[in-house]
């Protein structure tokens, strides 16, 4: 991993009825160990983020011009600084069409890798903190928060201009809470989704549930856990989930059994690769919910074992209460009785 170029711009809108304010850096930065460290954190957080989107450049060049600018940059027709300025100015224009406040540092990073160059776009949020300065006075400081990654894009440049590549070469993060700002970011990046991750997640969960139903309860729980672990590992590697590899992982004794089941019951191809959302896939191994003052979470293999559900009376019965929970309940009841006395 090596940063070829990096630049930061600042885009802010505090009041909803006012246009955003843009501060542009004139030149790319001289790369230091601090930049490499920040980029390493951002890449790690990007890789581990669940719920990513996968796509390609939108063919509508007039509404999504970033891809043209990026190609001109690759062809050395424009410089890195101009590319960053064009992108951030367009992002500002799209943000000004919304009514949402926004405050972020826009980071553009060109990465050189042994297996192909990548381009990253980040909208980084900041936190405020306090410090004691050199005069022993209390002061405030604003610092980047690389752990809160709500808007980001990764572009595999080598694949982007290769018409023979059918796989998505764009990978995006757009958190749900970003609303129209998130849509503006995706449009500024010329992003068009080509994979329905929600549908692929639902399909995989249905196939895994149907397959596991044929097994004894303990074996079914093991299959769910193995499938979840494998999908999380693939996500952290930035890779799709090959159906054949998943089949071998969940059942080493009969590695073709699951993929054959998937072909028969969901018309999935044996060579198919899926990109499930591991946040939703977690429901295979964990049941959770909250409301009306109650928050509950437990391993799914406990259902109808130590946690019993009566559908008619709509009640849960817990037959093996955790010791720490039992202790708190007894202490609470004792305190309530003492107050009554």
Encode pLDDT of 284-338 as tens digits.
Answer: 888 888 887 888 888 877 777 788 888 888 888 888 888 888 888 888 888 877 7
pLDDT beneath 50, residues of the chain:
none
Torsion of CA 221, 232, 242, 169, to 10 degrees: 160
CA-wise closest residue to 144 among 20, 45, 237: 45
**How confident is the model at residue 1, as a pLDDT?**
57
Residue 155 burial class via C-beta count within 10 angstroms: exposed 0-12, middle 13-18, buried 19 and up: buried
Distances from the Cα of 50 to the Cα of 105, 175, 189, 266, 337, angstroms? 22, 10, 20, 24, 47
Single pTM value for the model: 0.81
Name residue, tokens 């946040």. 279
Q: What is the maximum alpha-carbon separation in the chain?
A: 85
Distance CA 341, CA 336 (A): 9
Q: What is the CA radius of gyration of the chain?
A: 25
Structure tokens that stand for 257 in this block: 């059994």
CA-wise closest residue to 153 among 64, 79, 72: 64
Q: What angle do CA 28, 33, 36 make, to 5 degrees?
A: 70
Within 217-271, residue ranges assigned H as helices are 217-237, 243-250, 257-266
Give yes or no for a contact between 214 and 274, defined as CB atoms under 8 angstroms apart. no
């Amino acid at each position: 991993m090596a940063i070829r170029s990096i630049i930061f711009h600042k885009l802010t809108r505090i009041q909803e009825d006012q246009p955003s304010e843009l501060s542009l850096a004139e030149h790319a930065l001289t790369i230091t160990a601090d930049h490499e460290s920040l980029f390493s954190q951002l890449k790690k957080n990007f890789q581990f983020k669940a719920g990513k989107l996968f796509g390609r450049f939108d063919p509508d060049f007039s509404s999504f011009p970033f891809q043209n600018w990026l190609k001109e940059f690759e062809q050395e027709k424009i410089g890195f600084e101009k590319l960053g300025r064009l992108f951030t100015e367009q992002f500002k224009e799209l943000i000004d069409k919304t009514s949402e406040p926004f405050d972020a540092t826009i980071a553009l990073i060109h990465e050189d890798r042994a297996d192909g160059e990548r381009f990253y776009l980040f909208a980084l949020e900041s936190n405020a903190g306090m410090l004691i300065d050199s005069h022993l006075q209390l002061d405030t400081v604003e610092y980047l928060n690389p752990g809160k990654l709500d808007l980001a894009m990764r572009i595999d440049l080598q694949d982007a201009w290769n018409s023979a590549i059918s796989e998505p070469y764009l990978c995006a993060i757009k958190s749900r809470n970003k609303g129209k700002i998130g849509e503006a970011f995706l449009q500024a990046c010329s992003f068009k989704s080509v994979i329905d991750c929600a549908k692929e997640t639902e399909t995989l969960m249905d196939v895994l549930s149907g397959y596991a139903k044929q097994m004894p309860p303990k074996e079914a729980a093991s299959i769910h856990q193995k499938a979840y672990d494998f999908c999380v590992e693939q996500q952290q590697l930035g890779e799709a989930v090959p159906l054949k590899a998943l089949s071998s992982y969940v059942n080493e004794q009969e590695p073709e059994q699951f993929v054959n089941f998937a072909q028969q019951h969901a018309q999935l191809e044996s060579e198919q690769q899926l990109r499930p959302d591991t946040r939703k896939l977690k429901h295979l191994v964990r049941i959770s919910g909250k409301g009306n003052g109650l928050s509950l979470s437990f391993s799914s293999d406990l259902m109808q074992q130590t946690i019993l559900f009566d559908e008619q009376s709509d009640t849960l019965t817990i037959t093996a209460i955790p010791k720490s929970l039992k202790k708190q309940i007894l202490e609470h009841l004792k305190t309530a009785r003492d107050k009554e006395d």
